[in-house]
Amino acid sequence: MAGHSQFKNIMFRKGAQDKKRGKVFTKIIRELTTAARMGLHQDRDEEELAAPVVSFSLGDTALFRVGGLQRNAPTRSFRLASGDAMSLAGESRLAFHGVDRIIAGSSTLLPEGGRINLTLRRVTKASA
């Protein structure tokens, strides 16, 4: 029975760790449904801001907007179609960005439509 008790203890500790990390992990994969928007924002929640943020788009096309380091800086919009990848790195890592809208029906990848955005980022500082 000692092994069973040890397993339960490990599972309990893992559950506590996962709960703490939950907020970070929920940002990794976002599904944006038709007519969804994401206002201009900066990705500043990570400890490691020197590492790039890489994003892969699947499904319906998004009208993506990116600006400068200040919220009131001029912006530029472009389309991110299914299969597109983009990165915010270097000086643009902290650029304000967002999704103006999703163009419904622009892809047949997802049977019921919509868009999946897979975002990869380094959350913690790299160990030396």
Domains (ranges, CATH) in the chain?
Answer: 29-121 (2.60.120.590)
pLDDT band of residue 22 (cuts 50, 70, 90) is low
H/E stretch holding 15: helix 2-28
Q: Name the token pair of 106.
A: 């622009």
- pLDDT at position 7 over 70: no
How far is 6 from 44, CA to CA, in rounded Å?
Answer: 38
Q: Name the token pair of 95.
A: 């650029």
Q: Name the token pair of 124.
A: 């913690």
- pLDDT at position 128 over 70: no
How far is 76 from 122, CA to CA, in rounded Å?
Answer: 26
The model scores a pTM over 0.75: no
**Residue for token pair 């397993």:** 7
